[in-house]
Amino acid sequence: MFASPFGPSSGAYHGGNARESPASRAALVPQNNGRIYLATSAMKTIGQYARVLLLCLLAASGPLAWGQTALGGPKPKGQKAGKDTANLPLVDTLSGADGAAADTVNIDSINQAKMTAYQARLEEMQQLRERDSLRQAALEERLAKLRTKDGRTKARIEQQLQEIREREEGRKALMRLRIDSLRSHVQGIPVLGPEQDTLFLIYSSLGPFSARDRATSATQRILDIFEDDSYDFSPDSMRISLDNGYYTVLYTRTPILGVSEIDGVWNDKQPEELARHYATVVGENIATAREANSLYQWLKRVGIFLAILLTVILSAYGLSRLQRVVRYRVTLKLRHRISELHVGNYVLVSKQQKLRIFNIGLSILRYMILLLMIYIGLLYIFNLFPFTRQWVNTLVDFITSPIQNILLGIWGYVPNLFTILAIVLIMRYVLRTVKYFFREMEAGKLHIRKFHRDWAMPTYNIVRILLYAFTLILIFPYLPGSDSGFFKGVSVFLGVLFSLGSSTAISNMVAGLVITYMRPFRIGERIKIGEITGDVVEKSMLVVRLKTAKNEEITIPNSMVLSSTTTNYSAHARKQGLILHTMVTIGYDVPWPKVHEALIEAAEMTTHVAKMPRPFVHQKSLDDYYVAYELNLYTHAPTRMAAIYSELHANIQYTFAMRDIEIMSPHYRVVRAEGEGATTVPVPEELGEKRE
């Protein structure tokens, strides 16, 4: 019995309940009863035969016009639009079968989904072809039996034969066109040699066997032939045979693979030519594999392996010795020649650090060379043995794939990089232009109504931050990985983290903006915030720094400055002057003009006190035992406030002492006898006037 060339099951098309192929059915028909078979088949399949007649009518116009119409190209003359499907039902069904399987996942599902329906249509075309071939044989037999004088019948038979040949050419052209349209979607299944290298690809099924079944069966049979040591393999024993319309690749009598006409169309070859090609490839591959796995080759591989291993070990030892020699010679010769690396007055790298960096670099270079040698050695070792050769590409990919991806990523990113550079360059010049105008405002050269000069640079800083943010928004879509979910997730996480962790800082920044445009104080002014008095040394977006009279630097957050009362001692000191004041309490026994005179004299003696307006005295209260006198004086040096008060108090003590005035608040307990004139009221002469 014939061994089936279609797949793993021998005799799949013969005997039992096995399915019969169109080729086997055709082979069972006696050649001398072709006419009876044609009549019977035509009566049973009248619908299919009508479609054959339609194909014959189209084939008469030539295979080129048929193929163009099937593909939606130029229509034959006189054909109306929209009539393609009516004239070519087979083409329509093939197109539908091809488009219905466009979303498959893996190789098997892609091939199966795209080829199952298509295979059924091809089998239908094959049936038509077999019937045409039977009819052609019957017509040729009839033509041979005709007499020479029967020219009309002979011409009619020859015309029918020509129509059959044209129809066959049309079917082949259509088959090639449809398969060409499937090439970009269907992936071939590889047939592997003994050393797991790909010999050729199988795209189509054959009978009940899928492309994967055929490839797996052929791979196993090739491996069985390779491992069979009962005979010496000879590529000359590879042959092909034609059985039931299919070519079979055999080694002696062992079938390996069946080749159909569809396989030939997929490979753009005739079935016989493709079968011979497969036989040559399989034979040469098995012969090469057997030679490569001979005892001599294995001993040769082991010897090369040991040589490579010994070379790597000796190289590692030699690199270690070389590193020690170089380190010793460099340290010995350059120890006194190496100088320190200075950045200004700072020693950035000392001599010892330079030597240490050199030794570390030398060690890194040694390990890099060693790893490179091991990597190259592994490539050679893996390539020696057949069962490890498949690892060579994987090992190469470990190095080449990342480098290739990086280079391709850089090359693909070049247009975006130029876009980013253009955006940055434009924004840089915009920022320079904005800075120029604000500098002019600060210098007083450019005036804007109701815009103070000291607002210029703070406003510029705000505009700069906004321009930076706008630039980042423009650049963000061009950053590598900006469309990835990970990049977006990290951006959102950092945004939430910044928002939650910088609430206090943001409140201080907002308060800083408000303070800037409120203008409550400027740098260098003497102010009082809450209970803290000092000179403003720094005013930023977050804090205000004050320097007290004790040389203490106090940092106050802007939010606290905004919520506290601020006293500015320097705001009017430049023009009108700041009024400093102090208070003394003197008893009623001292005439008040005398006290006024002493206080004003003390003020005029004090340094940094303005001559005009003159100092003046207020009597703040008349208490039970004393009078409260407040001395007021003008100064244009508010930052010298502590020194002025100190000197003023000293001068008050001096002037009062010169006038025999005690600086005290006497408390009296008086027991007066009736009729006595004891009193604390000064005499009129002391007051500078007389009583009436």
pLDDT digits 0-9 by tens, 391-427: 888 888 888 888 888 888 888 888 888 999 999 999 9
pLDDT (0 to 100) of residue 600? 93
H helices then E strands: how many in the chain? 21, 15
The pTM score is: 0.46
Task: Fill in the amino acid letter for 82.
Answer: G
What pLDDT does 549 receive?
Answer: 83
388 vs 281 pLDDT, higher one: 281
How far apart, in whole angstroms, are the C-alpha atoms of residue 222 and residue 239?
A: 14
pLDDT exceeds 60 at position 59:
no
Contact 51, 89 (CB under 8 A): yes
Q: Tens digits of per-residue pLDDT, 1-37?
A: 334 444 444 333 333 333 333 333 333 333 333 333 3
Q: Which of 32-36, 179-183, 461-465, 569-573 has the lowest mean pLDDT?
A: 32-36
289 vs 488: CA distance, rounded Å? 53
Give the C-alpha separation, 553 to 191, whole Å.
Answer: 84
pLDDT the model gives residue 644: 92
374: left (phi over 0), alpha (psi -120 to 50) or beta: alpha
Residue ranges of E strands in 49-123: none
- Please state, in angstroms and rounded to a whole number, the distance separating the CA atoms of residues 196 and 262: 26
Which one has a higher pLDDT value, 220 or 137?
220
pLDDT of residue 383: 84
Give the pLDDT score at 122.
61
How many Å apart are CA 108 and CA 114, to the nearest integer? 10
- The chain-wide mean pLDDT, for the chain, equals 75
> What pLDDT was estimated at residue 58?
42
pLDDT at 513 over 90: no
Q: In the 8-state DSSP scheme, what is residue 194? A: T
Of the candidates 1, 28, 59, 44, which has an alpha carbon nearest to the alpha carbon of residue 245?
28
Looking at residue 5, its pLDDT comes to 43
The edge-to-edge listing of strands for the beta sheet with 246-251 is 238-243, 246-251, 254-259
* Predicted local confidence at residue 341, as pLDDT: 79
Helix axes 46-59, 63-70, angle to 10 degrees: 110
- 82-136, pLDDT tens digit by residue? 333 333 333 333 333 343 333 333 555 555 555 555 555 666 666 666 666 666 6
Judging by DSSP bridges, how do beta strands 532-539 and 543-547 pair with one another?
Answer: antiparallel
For the stretch 465-490, pLDDT in tens is 899 989 988 998 888 777 777 777 88
pLDDT the model gives residue 649: 94
Q: How confident is the model at residue 599 (pLDDT cuts 50, 70, 90)?
A: very high
Identify the weakest region by mean pLDDT among 128-137, 271-280, 575-584.
128-137
